[in-house]
């Protein structure tokens, strides 16, 4: 799973760079800053998230159907879309967990707080 998450985050970063070069709105080009400390997929495998040293968590959707059609074992930039970037913690985000439905994301931080976000 670690390799899959790392590949998905690299694809998200590449997609963000492409969006920035194309002048797209900021929500389409927000790549994680700082070190990635944790990551996880939703139960469906269509959402993934990472927590960073910048007190934020990032959520992306993965177009699994397009990956299957393209026979892509590794996500490519065109398969990744930013869903949201959430802040609000005062320290590193060290844990991210999706609800079973994928409708909520729980984040936990070294600041001792846990937060629930709608996806």
Where along the chain do its domains lie?
2-118
- Percent pLDDT > 70 in the chain is 70
- Cα separation, 26 vs 43, whole angstroms: 28
Residues with Cβ within 8 Å of 90's Cβ and at least 6 positions away in sequence, in order, are: 55, 109, 111, 113
CB neighbours of residue 85 within 10 Å: 18
CB neighbours of residue 45 within 10 Å: 11
Q: What confidence tier does 28 reach under pLDDT thresholds 50, 70, 90?
A: very low
In CATH, the number for domain 2-118 is 2.130.10.10
**Each residue of 58-100: pLDDT tens digit?**
898 887 777 767 765 666 667 777 888 888 899 999 999 999 9
Q: What confidence tier does 29 reach under pLDDT thresholds 50, 70, 90?
A: very low
């Amino acid at each position: 799973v670690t390799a899959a998450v790392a590949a998905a985050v690299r694809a998200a970063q590449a997609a963000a760079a492409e969006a920035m070069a194309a002048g797209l709105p900021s929500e389409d080009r927000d790549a994680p800053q700082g070190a990635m400390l944790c990551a996880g997929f939703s139960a469906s495998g269509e959402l993934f998230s990472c927590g960073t040293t910048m007190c934020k968590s990032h959520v992306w959707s993965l177009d699994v159907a397009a990956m299957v059609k393209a026979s892509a074992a590794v996500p490519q930039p065109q398969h990744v879309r930013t869903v949201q970037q959430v802040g609000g913690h005062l320290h590193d985000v060290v844990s991210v967990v999706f609800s079973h439905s994928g409708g909520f994301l729980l984040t936990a931080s070294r600041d001792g707080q846990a937060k629930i976000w709608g996806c």
